[in-house]
Amino acid sequence: MTETTPFRGPSLILLATVYILVAVSGLAAGAMLRHGASYVTPFAPAEQLSAFFAQSQTATRVSNFFLFASAIPFGIFAVTVVSRLRFLGVRATGTGIALFGGLAAAMALFLSGLAGWIVSVPEVLASAPVLKAVVFLNFLTGGAFYAVGFGLLAAGVSVTCFFTRLLPRWLVALGMLLALTGELSSLSLIAYPANFFIPITRFIGFLWMLMAAVALTKRTRRKGAPDEPAPV
């Protein structure tokens, strides 16, 4: 009977699940508290933005509270998935890239949540130029900044798992697709249509995180087994 070494760390499946539940709860709470009002993008006229957020102060605070809170399980997931890969014997630059991307994405969620909460402050609502600037900060950090970071996380994990065969090929392919859409989302800074890549990265990313967590959790390491470095 082969003896295995247990991984000492948080459950990847639990972290991914908590992150998804918190993130979805924020979206749902914001939609319900707006009572059917359509979301206004940062590109709308300042007067329209002021009117929308003045009527949605509670929705704005609650949804951004959940957005801020979601950064905690996400950041711990990023650190844990890298730790898990190293535990399984991966010694490659890809794990460092994944850690950098994951922490960047977590920081983006923190900043976006804080900026979004500031939008609900009456003094900010009273100044159209300040409101416009803060809404754009909320949008850019939670959009392009997060998507680029997530793309690096997905790329780092997927490339190393391709060489070490720690994930199914279809899941590696999905991760690389998310890496591509995440990096392409940076083009939204110069071309508005590129914003299309942001929700793809975010929502399909939920599925990838959970499936990768399940697959990596099933992997065990034999006690005393040597490291198996990946060529990345």
- Measure the CA–CA gap between 43 and 210, rounded to whole angstroms: 33
Token digits of residue 217: 């959790």
Backbone angles phi, psi at 113, to 5 degrees: -60, -40
- Measure the CA–CA gap between 197 and 184, rounded to whole angstroms: 7
Chain segment 51-110, per-residue pLDDT in tens: 888 888 899 999 999 999 999 999 999 999 999 999 888 888 899 999 999 999 999 999
pLDDT of residue 228: 44
- Measure the CA–CA gap between 196 and 6, rounded to whole angstroms: 41
Q: 84: which strand partners?
A: none
Chain segment 124-159, per-residue pLDDT in tens: 988 888 999 999 999 999 999 999 999 999 999 999
Q: What is the mean pLDDT of residues 25-33?
A: 91
Q: pTM value?
A: 0.90
**What are the distances in angstroms from CA 4 to CA 9, 87, 169?**
15, 12, 25
Q: Count Cα atoms within 13 angstroms, Cβ side, for 74.
A: 30
Backbone angles phi, psi at 222, to 5 degrees: -65, 140
- Measure the CA–CA gap between 164 and 88, rounded to whole angstroms: 9
Q: Tell me if 62 sits within 8 A of 30, measured CB to CB.
A: yes
- Helix/strand/coil for 222: strand
- Measure the CA–CA gap between 33 and 163, rounded to whole angstroms: 47
Amino acid identity for residue 73 in this structure: P
Tokens 């998935």 found at: 81
- Measure the CA–CA gap between 128 and 135, rounded to whole angstroms: 10
